[in-house]
Amino acid sequence: MSSSTPSRYNPSWVKRGLVDAFRWDHVISTIAEDSEVRANVYKSLLLNLLSLTSIYTFDLLLLPLVRDQQKWLHRNVGWFYQGLWLFPVIGLSFYLNSSWCNIIAERTFALKHGNPYRVVMVFTSLVVSFALGHIPFAGPILGFSFLSWLDSYYLFEFVWIARGMSLSRRVRYLEERWAYYLAFGLPSAALCTLGSGLASAAIFALVFPLYIVMAMHARPVPDDPYNPVSETDVVRHPSPFIPIRLPVFALVMFLNDWIVKILSVGGGSRTRNVHRRGTSGDESVEEGERMEMQTRNATPSFNSNRSNNSRINIGRRKLD
């Protein structure tokens, strides 16, 4: 592939991602066709609107009223409001929103759940996004771009898990189609920037179930990142000037492994066994191939052990 070919294809992939991110007709048709999806989307919207209303009620009404007050009760009314109302409502909202989104995804596509390693990835992704945003000059652009990829990852995660893709395969799939997923995550990332802190998270939770439906109907491009041309065209090699795979989550994956290793050391042998099952066995593509090879290699050994045991038993019968 000539150096001009990637520059010709990347804009089309970005355009495809933006188009798929605005396919509200898929959302409307899916909600109209399935009563369970419709009920869970409505519940999610109402609960997250309650969270947003609570957040902005505090920021716009209560906080200005008590900001310059000297009395202890007035000075601490914000803490009472957040502790007794805001945080419980938001926590309940996120919990129920997660369960409702699972139901929405199950009704749209066959879904199986991920493992606890995902919790660590959510934490490290937020840390990386926050750190990138504080880099001088290029920080806002880097932070927003990473947030777009991060939103795309969690919006498409339901599809990938349903297809049986391990964590390493999911990350690789996104990184090899980085232009498309950057564009797909742009609208949701832009919506998240409208608020700050808890409001940003509540806005994402508000639109999350709707974008899941879009992700279920989307068709990411290219099909083959290493030969992104039509079947009728001549097979070409990619340009060395534009990367096929952009390591978007390299730092996140490094931090994941580092944190899990620390937890494994602190948790003892049982935690280490869980880590091996949860990350090494399930999340690594190469690990699955090694386990298959080990199974094949173990089968003759098992048969040979059986034959040896049978010979020993025959010998014992002869002695008796």
Cβ atoms of residues 202 and 51 within 8 Å? yes
Nearby residues of 197 by Cβ (< 8 Å), 6 or more positions away: none
- Tell me the pLDDT tens digit for each residue of 198-216: 778 778 888 888 898 899 8
CA atoms within 13 A on the CB side of 15: 6
Q: What is the pLDDT of residue 89?
A: 65
Per-residue pLDDT for 298 more than 50?
no
d(CA 136, CA 132) in angstroms, rounded, equals: 9
Q: Find out whether 36 and 213 touch, Cβ atoms under 8 Å.
A: no
User: In this predicted structure, what is the pLDDT of residue 159?
Assistant: 87
Longest dimension (CA), the chain: 99
**What three-state secondary structure class fits 134?**
coil
| pLDDT (0 to 100) of residue 301 | 42
pLDDT for 320 equals 46
Q: Contact, 133 vs 296, CB < 8 A? A: no
Instruction: Report how far apart the first and last C-alpha atoms of the chain are (Å, whole number).
Output: 77
pLDDT for 219: 92
What is the SS3 assignment for 153-193?
A: HHHHHHHHHHCCCCHHHHHHHHHCCHHHHHHHHHHHHHHHC
- List pLDDT tens digits, range 245-264: 999 999 999 998 888 888 77
Burial of 172 (0-12, 13-18, 19+ CB in 10 A): middle
pLDDT at 95: 63
At 115, the pLDDT band (50, 70, 90 cuts) reads low
In terms of pLDDT, which residue wins out, 152 or 261? 152
Q: 103 and 270 in contact (C-beta within 8 Å)? A: no
Share of the chain above pLDDT 70, in %: 58
Amino acid at 209: P
pLDDT score for 3: 43
**pLDDT class for 139, splitting at 50, 70, 90?**
very high
148-152, 217-221, 311-315, range with the lowest pLDDT: 311-315
For the whole model, what pTM was predicted? 0.67
**Where residue 135 falls among pLDDT bands split at 50, 70, 90?**
very high
